[in-house]
Each structure stands twice: as structure tokens, then as C-alpha cells.
Structure 1
């Protein structure tokens, strides 16, 4: 029995040592998994950052260009050109309206001239044209009869 008493503490110590070794091994495994996950995450974040870096550079370059003096000058020139274009368009519209009015007046004068020429022609031909079935003599006889009565 004495032997058992001596063996029991040794067995307990051995089992504790074994449990501790298993515990240390599992901790090392967990730590190595965490380390691997951290390395993977770091590599992936680096990949994303390398992809975003050119875009960030372009954005910064655009921002500096927008805030730059040359862009302000270009904007002033563009504004001046747009104002000039607007003025020209209004002048052209006014000229077109004047030309249209002049053409309408000219057309009206030409129509009046044609009517006068037509009236002169009719007068030289002996009066107006009648579309009736009666002859010229019959029409003149009716006209004289009306003037007498």
C-alpha cells in the first residue's frame, strides 16, 4: 500500500504534466491559427490598399487641378465664350426677325403691285371678266337698262 501511496502522487503529477502539455499544444495551435489569420488579413488589406492607391492618387490630382489657377482661368474663358455666344444668338434672332418682317412687307408690296397691274390690264381689256352665259352685247344691254331705270 505504501507503494500505491507513492505511485499515486507520481501518477497525479504525470497526468497534470500531460494535461498541461496538451493544453500548451492546443494553445500553440490556436495561436498559430490566429497568427495565420492575422497574416492573411494583413496581406488582403495590403492588396486592397494597393488597388485603391492609384484611384486615390487620381482623385488627389483631380482635386489639385480643380483648385488650381489654370482651371479658374479656363472657367473664366468658358464663361466669357458662353456669354458671347448668347449675345450672338440674340443678335442673329433679331436679324432673322427683321429680315422676316422686311420679306413680309416686300411680299405685301408685290401683291399690291400685281393687283394694280391686274386692274390696269382688266381696264385696258374693257372692264372686268364675266363668267356668265350671256354675250358681251347682252351684258352691255342689261347694264344700260339698269342705268336708265
Structure 2
């Protein structure tokens, strides 16, 4: 196995981890937030934020790095447009998070706003789609790489 194939496998593994985390977040974590009382909200949200680096930020960063490595050093038999898509999806998600979802989370961290929480839950499906699409593209790349 050469280094490019190891990058494909590593990026696939991270992408699948990210897919699992985003679906768990969307279907379990965020809906439970609606059950947290206002008095407990600050402590609950702080505990959530403390767990994000290892479970969200680092894995997404690794997915971006792996995808960028594939653009610069594409695996054999993989079209350039496909590895570019593999990079564009997590970059789009990261940019949209920085511009849209992170500011909402920051507002929620100081005070429980049920209307804002509803908007977060509804629009978060876009992130679910982007992260899931990255996972699907990585499966496609891996399947073609090892065919």
C-alpha cells in the first residue's frame, strides 16, 4: 500500500467518524437540548462545548487535511474533479459553520433562546447533508482506488 492509498483510507475513516457524529448530534444531542431547563442550560452547554475539540474540531480538520492531500497528490484512477469535490464539501461545511452556526452556538451559550434553538435544529440538516456527502464521496474514492 502506498502513501496515497493510506491517505485515502485515513480520510475515509475520519469521514465515516464525522458522519456518525453529525447524525448522532442531529438525531439525539440537539433534540435533547429542547428538554434542558433554563436554570441548567449554561452548565449543560458549557459541558457540550468542552467536548467539541476532540470529537468535532480535530476530526473535521483531519478530513480537510486528508482531502487537501488527495487534491495535491491524487490517487491513481481518480478524476481530479472528484478529489476536488472531496475537499470542497468539508471546506464548505467549515466556512458555513464559521459564518452561520458558530455564531448561533455562541449566542446559545450565554442564554437559552428556544426560537434560536429551533432555527439551529432546522438549518443544521444542511451540515448533516454536507458531512454525509463527504462520507459518500470518500467511499466512492476508496472503492475506485482499491478496485
For normalisation by structure 1, the TM-score amounts to 0.23
Larger Cα-atom Rg? 1
Q: Which of the pair has the greater relative contact order for Cα pairs under 8 Å at 6+ separation?
A: 2
